[in-house]
Chains A and B, each alone.
Chain A
Amino acid sequence: MKEVPVKIQFNNEWIVVKMGIGEDRIAFPAPVNKEILFKTVADVAEKKNILIITVKTDTETVYRILTVEKVLQVLKKFILASCNAYRLMAYFMSPAIRGGVMIKDAQWDKGNVVVVRSGIWFVSATKQICVPVNDVAEIELTKRDVQGKPTDVIKIDHLEGGEVTSSFVLCPLSTLQVLYNFLRDTTKSMDMKGTELDSVDQQVAMLVYSGMDSHAIENMLNIPHKQLDAIYDKILKLGLGEVITIRREIQLTTKGVRYISDATKSQTP
């Protein structure tokens, strides 16, 4: 086993230990005194430089490991190759579309798609990309032109720093169907009937998606502020949006009117 210094959260404190890393396990010396077999890892997530792994034996334990990028890459590579997850070899393209614009130099990577509890990992020799399940907006079986032929692929739309990004997965159709069903099942908490919003509500949602503010939406759809407010309430209630800014409209008091009148007079020669 090779040893690398890492920080691990232990009893709510970050401590430095020399972690042993092998092909099927990692080991932490005292005071942690723990050996983790990769096959017992039920979930892998990453936040900044912190790797969060959930180990399931008789009970579930969460470990948070902080280390340099190079060590994290090796660690993720080993864990994702052996952890308890749905895993398949596939070609993937991530990201392929960002904000509705095709990425011109996007290429197919050959690697593994690993679906864990909290996310979908795309792993190749040069990439380790995680799409958290909570950020998945849509999963769709569609066709894409691959080497001149329309080919079945899975398209995964996800939010990345507020931008809607699409990734594609390509593998044999039978496997694709299994993966599609698995992903649909993993993200089913996001499913809706599609009849919750009427056509005007949908237009409002589409304009919000495109980055329009409430003033622009009112002008574009020619609807009064109160109607837009009611539609926003509906969108918020359904969990389809969140409030980012509250704007106010004011009118001047007598004192304000007097102030402006005086100011105007003083500007008159």
Chain B
Amino acid sequence: MGKILIVDDTLFMRTLLKNILFSGGHVIAGEAGDGEDGVAKYKELKPDLVTMDVVMPKMNGIEALKAIKEFDPAARVIMCTAVGQEQMVKLAIKSGAKGYIIKPFQAPKVLEEVKSVLAS
């Protein structure tokens, strides 16, 4: 079980992810509504894993991922984006993302992915 930071600009997706992760026994370390806040919260909370939306205001998910990896090269980040943005996968993986989930997602698969990334 891990301490997880959720970074997504929509309250709906944050609440959904929070519910899914909570049902899997994880602890929600915190939430952030944009990339900039996500990087700041990462430095403050030092979570075991981050779920990171790609398209966000202020700083997008890829830039936030790079900033987090610069601060902590061992950071575990799962990117989370909408259907049709799958081409971002390569860029995200190249930038150090450990996993990728595509919205809409199903709870059991998200928990499986989180478990596998936490074990890595």
Q: How far, in whole Å, are A238 and B90 apart by their CA atoms in the complex?
A: 38
Contact across chains for B108 and A211 when beta carbons are under 8 A apart: yes
Contact across chains for A99 and B100 when beta carbons are under 8 A apart: no
Q: Mark B75-99, 1 if CB is under 8 A from A, else 0.
A: 0000000011011011000000001
The one of B19, B87, B90, B102 in contact with A100, judged by C-beta atoms closer than 8 angstroms, is B102
Q: How far, in whole Å, are A203 and B84 apart by their CA atoms in the complex?
A: 20
The one of A102, A144, A203, A211 in contact with B87, judged by C-beta atoms closer than 8 angstroms, is A144
Residues on the B chain within 8 Å of A206, using CB: 16, 104
Interface residues on B, range: 20 to 34
Q: How far, in whole Å, are A140 and B83 apart by their CA atoms in the complex?
A: 10
In the complex, the chain A residue whose C-beta lies closest to that of B19 is A216
Q: Is A89 an interface residue (CB 8 A)?
A: no
Q: How far, in whole Å, are A211 and B108 apart by their CA atoms in the complex?
A: 8
Q: Is B110 an interface residue (CB 8 A)?
A: yes
Residues on the B chain within 8 Å of A190, using CB: none
Q: How far, in whole Å, are A101 and B113 apart by their CA atoms in the complex?
A: 7
Shortest C-beta distance, B15 to chain A (Å), equals 5
Residues on the B chain within 8 Å of A209, using CB: 104, 106
The one of A99, A144, A216 in contact with B108, judged by C-beta atoms closer than 8 angstroms, is A99
Q: Is B7 an interface residue (CB 8 A)?
A: no
Q: Mark B102-114, 1 if CB is under 8 A from A, else 0.
A: 1111111110110
Contact across chains for A101 and B110 when beta carbons are under 8 A apart: yes
Q: Mark A38-66, 1 if CB is under 8 A from B, else 0.
A: 00000000000000000000000000000
Q: Is A220 an interface residue (CB 8 A)?
A: yes
Which B residues are within 8 Å of any A CB, using their own CB?
12, 15-16, 19-20, 83-84, 86-87, 89-90, 99-110, 112-113
17 pairs, A vs B, C-beta closer than 8 Å: A99-B110, A99-B112, A100-B101, A100-B104, A100-B110, A101-B101, A101-B105, A101-B112, A102-B86, A102-B99, A140-B83, A145-B89, A163-B106, A163-B109, A203-B12, A210-B104, A212-B19
